[in-house]
A and B are shown apart, each in its own frame.
Chain A
Amino acid sequence: MISLTIDGKEVQVPKGTMLLEACRIAGADIPTLCYDPDLKLAGSCRMCVVEAKGRRNLLATCVTPAENGMEIHTESSDVIEARKIILELLLSRHKLECHTCESDGDCKLQDYCYRYGVADSRFDGEGPHFTKPDPNPFIMRDYDKCIMCTRCVRACDEITGALAINIKDRGHHAKISTAFDGNLADSTCVFCGQCIMVCPVGALTSKVSAGKGKPYQTEKVVTTCTYCGTGCTLALNVKGDKVVGVTSVRDIEKSPVNNGALCVKGRFGWDFINSDERLTTPLIRENGELRQASWDEALDYTASRLKGIKEKHGADSIAMFTSARVTNEENYLAQKFTRAVLGTNNVDHCARL
């Protein structure tokens, strides 16, 4: 263990601990943009800088190992000044459209500008523009809001392994791009949306959720995905008794199978829930056509038909197909109903299909 002082508080941490972690243990709130606990370190945004006594330069805590005897100040005037300048520099290429932004309220740039009172940028001026249409139905790429933290690039590489995007060009012209700067659909992108999951601003957002509710207006209900058998944990975003999106649960304890990672179906394939084609009333066939019926009528009719067939042809003339898509509780009841009520073991489901 090594010991160091952070904002006057002495902390002990194992050797090799990064300064960022040590500061957080000491209770300091260190702002970060490019840092992501699940991705390789970039050390590029410099938001996490702190002052270390006796050091000429401010230290980026995410990439600096804690050392024995260090004396750290996390909110000194130099630190605050540096962070303000960094924010101003970032704002100079960040399109300020917070009022219509999908990430409004869930944006680290917004939070830090608020925290440090940075309203606008002294470095504003004519600069290059990066946003161009990408006609895919899943991911909105609004790179005029991109702050070049490269978390999307690293997530695409290190979580999904798709390697669809990287940095193109240098300096002012640097931007996130697919190979040959084309559309995502023509790249190796698999539309998992891990880039949306890690984007700290509103540069990458879901087109399926667009306009349906800002992050702070939605309740997040943690559940299990309805598609394949992997069993990924995800959060349904709910506004006004309506599902308006899916977001990741980024905590290995709470999302043990997938640690927040999802696929295109899990992240973007939820709006069937609100489809106009949903069935909203029981139906009974009459004169060859299906007509609407009340629950009582449909239940009574079904019960009497099933009872009649059982009496006439025996229980084994009836079968039930239960479902690989409904819950355990429902499957249990379906086989109980088949066995105890219909009186047959003719119950199966599409495990084989």
Chain B
Amino acid sequence: MTNTIGELENDAKAIFIIGTNTTENHPVIGYKIKQNVRRNGAKLIVADPRRIELAEMADVYMQFVPGTDVALMNSMMNVILNEDLLDKEFIANRTEGFEDFKAILEKYTPEAMEKVTGVPAEDVRKAARIYAESEAAAICYAMGLTQHSTGTDNVKTACNLALMTGNLGRPGTGVNPLRGQNNVQGACDMGGLPNVYTAYQNVTVEANQEKFEKAWGVKLSNKVGLTLTEAIGKAHHGELKALYVLGENPMMSDPDLQHVEEALENLEFLVVQDIFLTETAQKADVVFPGVTFAEKDGTFSNTERRVQRVRRAINPIEGARCDWQIICDLSTSMGYAMSYDSPEEIFEEIRSLTPSYAGITYDRIDVTGIHWPCPTVEHPGTPILHREKFNRGLGLFHVVEYKEAAELPDEEYPLILSTGRSLFHYHTGTMTRRSSGLDAHKPHNELEINPIDAEKLNIMDNEMVKVVTRRGSIDIKAKISDILEPGVIFTTFHFAEAAANRLTNADSLDPVAKIPEYKVCAARVEKIS
């Protein structure tokens, strides 16, 4: 997030929610948005193909066709331009590329886009006015915006919207991705990515390579590595021979599980380190037992870049080892001695190599976390980014045209399938399916389907049905629900016995981010008996 969670409760005068079912996936942030609307009268704009809980209290709700995010936001910007609701001073002083960008907006009139997005022109106008006229307007998004073959375009378009209205660098504004996992921010910050060391220091920059070579005492590669989705593809082709999976479950989380399964089986050697014998661990050649967050010390970095402490509450269960310890042990076994007395000692090494974390110490975050960047121990941290200038200096407008999703419905597969999450489960269900209360309350996967589609197919509520895509099929309980428009179906990916990713598409990736298009693929529903 460019801004903080607290600002969504206290400072934002308008909040534009697109592609985040906040009350289910980030419930505590959802409470704050609701309170801001109810207590302070903040305006709420919701754009989502499903009429999610927040849509019920929105000033404007735009139920758009999955995959038409760019068309929808460009049409909002067409209104902002034509009604002269721009922040001209901000555009002049803080941005570049506006003229080129402006030129493409002309054709995105709300009327023209109505046929693409399905959103009435008047609603787009209303949403554009609320967002642009508010003193401080925040955009919040999550995987609903990013998990598309146009995911990067979608995010750039959201940035254009914020840039053209000056909604950056001030309290209550910002472009705010709500990140789905406890330490997904930290995993990125720590260089758990194929192109960067810690703090996004590029592996292809010689100075960075030298810095880490010196610190680690070995020669390093300057060749950008494989992303997760690419690695699975290479394994499938036989080019990748070994894979070490730490606390991940690609046999549930990755697109097209048939493809993933074949890829993993094609490996010469698979190591999995986890707390349970996950669907992925069942395929491993070696399994290392790690521990839960309750059994170790360390830090997590949340979605607002706040680095916070994780504390050991109990000893590791008999036989398991802390994950950091296992990596050290394996590294030492391979002839590169790694030895740390504690996670704090590791953190000290991180600080020495990571400019944005350099000023953060365990002592300083003992009670309350610190937002990076925090370059020195005197620095208070940075809750709001881009106050004076952007990382690159001026904010760049990107010219982004609407592109259709990669796999659209046709006669054989007439429905759009979107996948996501439930309030009661988390990611691949490794933890929540083994939490007694959560699994008792929500033991089955469900397929949300509009009553009109259900009637056409002669399907009753709670009936087991078959969902079929070009990748495969699953049997699943139908839940008839009018929160979806006809032609769109939705399910979650938490359940191994009805695994949504048997259906999803591994071939339609965003060309830059390599994120799979989980929000749009073509599907059909069949009656079983």
Interface 1/0s, chain B 336-372, versus A by CB < 8 A? 1010000100110110000000000000000111000
| B212 proximity list for chain A (CB < 8 A) | 339
Q: Does B138 sit within 8 A of A, measured CB to CB?
A: no
Q: Which residue of B lies closest to A285 (CB)?
A: B285
| A301 proximity list for chain B (CB < 8 A) | 286
Q: Does B11 sit within 8 A of A, measured CB to CB?
A: no
Instruction: Decide: A273 near B292, CB < 8 A? Known: A317-B241, A333-B324.
Output: yes
Partner of B245, one of A270, A284, A321: A321
Q: Does A236 sit within 8 A of B, measured CB to CB?
A: yes
Chain A's nearest CB lies how many Å from the CB of B513? Answer: 6
**Are A328 and B184 in contact, CB atoms less than 8 angstroms apart?**
no
| A284 proximity list for chain B (CB < 8 A) | 285-286
| B335 proximity list for chain A (CB < 8 A) | 303
| A27 proximity list for chain B (CB < 8 A) | none
Within 8 A of A (CB), among B5-50: 5-6, 23, 25-29, 31, 34-35, 38
Partner of B244, one of A207, A295, A320: A320
**Are A319 and B183 in contact, CB atoms less than 8 angstroms apart?**
no
Instruction: Decide: A277 near B434, CB < 8 A? Known: A223-B309, A300-B333, A328-B350.
Output: yes
**Are B192 and A339 in contact, CB atoms less than 8 angstroms apart?**
no
Q: Which residue of A lies closest to B218 (CB)?
A: A340
Place the interface of chain A in its size category: 35 or more
| A309 proximity list for chain B (CB < 8 A) | 241-242, 268-269
Within 8 A of B (CB), among A271-317: 271-273, 275, 277-285, 290, 293, 295, 298-303, 305-307, 309, 312-313, 315-317
Instruction: Decide: A271 near B181, CB < 8 A? Known: A192-B27, A256-B369.
Output: no
Inter-chain CA distance A44–B27, complex, in Å, is 30
Q: Does B311 sit within 8 A of A, measured CB to CB?
A: yes
Q: Does A349 sit within 8 A of B, measured CB to CB?
A: yes
| A233 proximity list for chain B (CB < 8 A) | 308
Inter-chain CA distance A138–B218, complex, in Å, is 52
Chain B's nearest CB lies how many Å from the CB of A343? Answer: 6
Q: Does B92 sit within 8 A of A, measured CB to CB?
A: no
Interface size on B, residues (CB 8 A): 148
Q: Does A159 sit within 8 A of B, measured CB to CB?
A: yes
Interface 1/0s, chain B 221-244, versus A by CB < 8 A? 101111111010010000111111
**Are B285 and A313 in contact, CB atoms less than 8 angstroms apart?**
no
Q: Which of B104-112, B314-322, B390-398 contacts A (4 or more CB under 8 A)?
A: B314-322
Instruction: Decide: A279 near B27, CB < 8 A? Known: A328-B350, A352-B227, A352-B228.
Output: no
Inter-chain CA distance A229–B185, complex, in Å, is 8
| B195 proximity list for chain A (CB < 8 A) | 345
Q: Does A39 sit within 8 A of B, measured CB to CB?
A: no
**Are A278 and B317 in contact, CB atoms less than 8 angstroms apart?**
yes
Interface 1/0s, chain B 172-191, versus A by CB < 8 A? 00000011111111111111
Instruction: Decide: A278 near B243, CB < 8 A? Known: A263-B423, A327-B310, A340-B220.
Output: no
Interface residues of A (CB under 8 A from B): 136-138, 158-161, 185, 190-192, 207-208, 219, 221-233, 236, 238, 241-243, 253-254, 256-258, 261-266, 268-273, 275, 277-285, 290, 293, 295, 298-303, 305-307, 309, 312-313, 315-341, 343-353
| A-B residue pairs in contact (CB < 8 Å), sample of 9 | A241-B314, A269-B426, A278-B275, A285-B284, A293-B286, A328-B307, A332-B190, A344-B225, A345-B194
